[in-house]
Amino acid sequence: MVKQPLVSIIINNYNYDRFVSQAIDSALNQTYSSLEVIVVDDGSTDNSQKIIGNYGNSIIPVFKENGDHASTFNAGFLASSGEIICCLDADDRFLPEKVTQVVEVFASHLEIGWCFHPLKLVNTNNKEVLGVTRAFPQLNEDISTSCDFRTQLRLGKLSFYPPSTSALCFRRSLLKQILPMPEILRQAADRYLTYGTLFLSPGFFLDRELTIQGIHSTNDGTLQQGQKFRQKKARNQVVAAYLLRSKFPELVKFTNRLFARGFSYYLFDGIKQGEEKKLIDDYYKSATLSTKLTILLIAIYHSRPWKKVQLYKSATIE
């Protein structure tokens, strides 16, 4: 009998006491048996830590000071032992068969280092299904397929929209090449992680909705709008581009485009003093005049109010 690989489910939580038990229960109730559940609490000030503590030895709790998303990735990975790592935000939940299906993909494709899938978006208040994320919006429908974007990324392109945290699964051997990640990333951690791993390894997109993503008023990004969201998104793009270029110089054409998309926000809203300004200044210092012009043109292109890519399958989401 072939031994089942150990799978680590890493749940990151911050002040989600109303959701975290659902996430933990969904991880513990998988049809796959060889797994460990690690819950990283990022210095919550609500009732989260008590709820997590009530699970006793059925989970591995990690209580830490608040350091944001990147630090929870690092802490969770350090505490894990699994050959396969599945990430889960505390306001989301896995379907029972998720880990089984992901392990089957890794077992059938020994060359891959990652497996991603779509998320079903559900309103946490009324349980209404709002839509499903799309990875290949240029196609009529997503498909399950092996993927290798390494050449695309070197050329500064990517025809794939990676899903958010709770749909990300990796081989441990791949994550060792990119973790620990710089904690300055904060909420840009999943961008850094996905683009970095797409560059390092081929993978597989599994077109099955294996995670329910909870949509509510305190979501960090999904379906959010307004100036505050746009500013946060711009910062995440600028920071991810800066640090990806530092770690993977071969990605410079791609990071220039990623940086430009973030910079497009600042073209009209201005750059305040502080971290954003320093990162933008530092990124520009090493760029040639022609590269600066290219970045500016891409930024102007992405600042168009009518530019939109449909990343969700639903008539109710625009």
Q: What is the DSSP string of 98-156?
A: HHHHHHHHHHH-TT-SEEE--EEEEETTT--EEEEB-S-TTSSS---EEE--HHHHHTT
Contact criterion met (CB below 8 Å) for 89 and 21: no
**What phi, psi does 240 have (nearest 5°)?**
-60, -40
Peptide bond into 180 cis (omega under 30): yes
pTM for this model (two decimals): 0.91
**212/305 Cα distance (integer angstroms):** 30
CATH of 7-215, one of 3.90.550.10, 3.20.10.10, 3.10.450.40, 3.40.50.720: 3.90.550.10
User: What does the domain layout of the chain look like in residue ranges?
Assistant: 7-215, 227-302
CA 299, distance to chain mean position in Å, is 23
- For residue 39, give the nearest of 82, 5, 88 by alpha carbon: 88
Residue located via tokens 């008590």: 50
Tell me the two tokens of residue 302.
């992405």
Report the C-alpha gap between 107 and 111 in whole angstroms.
Answer: 10
C-alpha 23/C-alpha 19 separation (Å) is 7
Edge to edge, the sheet with strand 84-89 lists: 60-64, 35-42, 7-13, 84-89, 168-171, 114-116, 203-205, 145-147
Low-confidence ranges of the chain (pLDDT < 70): 1-2, 219-227, 229, 268-273, 304-318
Q: What pLDDT score does 226 carry?
A: 55
Please give the pLDDT value at position 316: 44
Q: At what angle do helices 189-200 and 252-269 cross, to 10 degrees?
A: 160
Looking at residue 265, its pLDDT comes to 82
Q: How far is C-alpha 101 from the chain's CA centre? A: 20
The residues, ordered by sequence, that sit 6+ positions from 135 with a Cβ below 8 Å of its Cβ are 116, 118, 142, 160, 161, 162, 163, 205
Q: Which helix (H) or strand (E) holds 28?
A: helix 20-28
Q: What is the predicted pLDDT for the residue at 49?
A: 98
Per-residue b/e over 127-153, b at no fewer than 16 CB within 10 Å? eeebbbbbbbbeeeebeeeebebeebb
The CA distances from residue 81 to 5, 55, 150, 158, 173, in Å, are 10, 19, 28, 32, 11
Q: How many Å apart are CA 191 and CA 185, to the nearest integer?
A: 9
